[in-house]
Structure 1
Amino acid sequence: MRHCVLSACLCFLLLAAPAAADEPRQATVRIPASDRLEQLFADLKQETNEAAARRIAERIREEWLRSGGETADLLIEWARAAVSEEKYHVALDLLDEVTVLYPDFVEGWSSRALVHLMMDDYDRAMADLSRALAIEPRHFGALSGLAGILRAVGREEEALAVYRRMLEIYPMQRSAQRAVMRIVEERTDERL
């Protein structure tokens, strides 16, 4: 199955790739992705407006998605389509290809973790989230998923630490703020 998927992807990319044109290339000045990400994370940490912070977070997600390449983009697109049809095993096959071909592509691991979560496979989801966080420790989506799993399995203290870490990176993330408040309130209620 994996070889068939890879072959289909390569054929599609070859057929869809534009022919080499004799047009002159325009010179563009590009800011390295790592510099853009650093600036976006600095902006996210300083932003006090929730809507503006959400826009910055979306730009960060776009940077993460852009870092895989065209083949990774295509495989992830197909995996998302499979998920929307609840064909989770197909999505996993596609995302397995992404993680094999692009082992440092954080969104491959994060996307695969999400599918494992949809299938209630917390162990595999945690393994993929751990890999995503090893690549990008500031991946607030992976931190959120990890904290959610920890809460679901009753490890509230660890979940609280992960949510707090997430808020250091993305202070205006309302769901993390609410989760921290709920955990702290529950702990307070238990002590009374």
Structure 2
Amino acid sequence: MKHLLVTLLLSTPALAETCPPSSDITTELNALIEDANAAQDERSGRAVSDKMWMVWLRAPDASAQEVLDRGMRQRGNFDFVGAYESFDALVAYCPDYAEGYNQRAFISFLREDFAAALIDLERALDLSPDHVGAQSGRALTLMNLGRRAEARTQLEAALENNPWLSERHLLADGAPLGPEGEEL
């Protein structure tokens, strides 16, 4: 694994340098959270969600963007091993960039390594507390770990930031995170 990380780091010329600090996206994200909460319909809400992703997927520099984009392509091609290695290299290069952790967590989630996913999601949220994608990912991960009450609380927090998440349906009656019925 270390050999692959070194290869990935060296295959992107500027990656041997230090990653610049991530931009402060707080103001931009807060405005999008307001827009999401003001959206009148699903179509408008989804458009705001897409804008949120554009913010999170903006890497700190061109080298980091190249690695992020490569990992996204690998994931899209179901090369989860390659994608994980790319996101692992991204996290090593830019340890303060929340999206690197979020994307690596998603690969762990897809591989059903929920414990590893949870660690990365918690780091992403430490770096970017209102990252709706990481919030909803953490809710899904907790649900898969059988931690239903925590998952419900996390999903409710995500929905405060974006009420149009598709995961909102998990809170409906009879859904996996919906209200618990009375015992017979």
Normalising by the smaller structure, the TM-score range is 0.7 to 0.9
* Cα contact 1:72–1:102 (8 A) shared by 2: yes
Give the unaligned 5+ runs of structure 2.
16-23
SS in 1 for 2:178: helix
Alignment equivalent of 1:76, drawn from 68, 71, 89:
68
Question: Relative to 1, partners in 2 of residues 1:63 and 1:129: Cα closer, same or farther, differing over 3 Å?
Answer: same
Structure 1 ranges of 4+ moved more than 4 A: none
Match of 2:12 in 1: 9
TM-score by length of 1: 0.80
Q: Distance in 2 between matches of 1:174 and 1:6?
A: 36
Aligned residue among 134, 142, 155 for 2:126: 134
Cα distance in 1 between the residues matched to 2:7 and 2:112: 27
* Structure of greater relative contact order (alpha carbons < 8 Å, 6+ residues apart): 2
Q: Distance in 2 between matches of 1:164 and 1:96?
A: 29
Alignment match of 1:184 (pick from 165, 178, 183): 178
Letter paired with 2:10: S
RMSD: 2.0
Which residue number in structure 1 is paired with residue 108 of structure 2? 116
Give the gaps of 5 or more residues in structure 1. Answer: 13-31
Equivalent position SS for 1:43? helix
Q: CA deviation at 1:143?
A: 1.4
**Matching of residue 54 in structure 1 with residue 57 in structure 2:** no
- In 2, Cα distance between the equivalents of 1:161 and 1:150? 10
Q: Write the letter of the residue equivalent to 2:6.
A: H
Q: Aligned partners of 1:83, 1:128: CA distance in 2, in Å?
A: 17
Identity of paired residues, percent?
A: 25
**1:102 counterpart = 2:99:** no
- TM (norm. structure 2) is 0.83
**Looking at CA atoms only, which structure, 1 or 2, has the larger radius of gyration?**
1
Q: How many residues align?
A: 170
Amino acid at match of 1:130: E
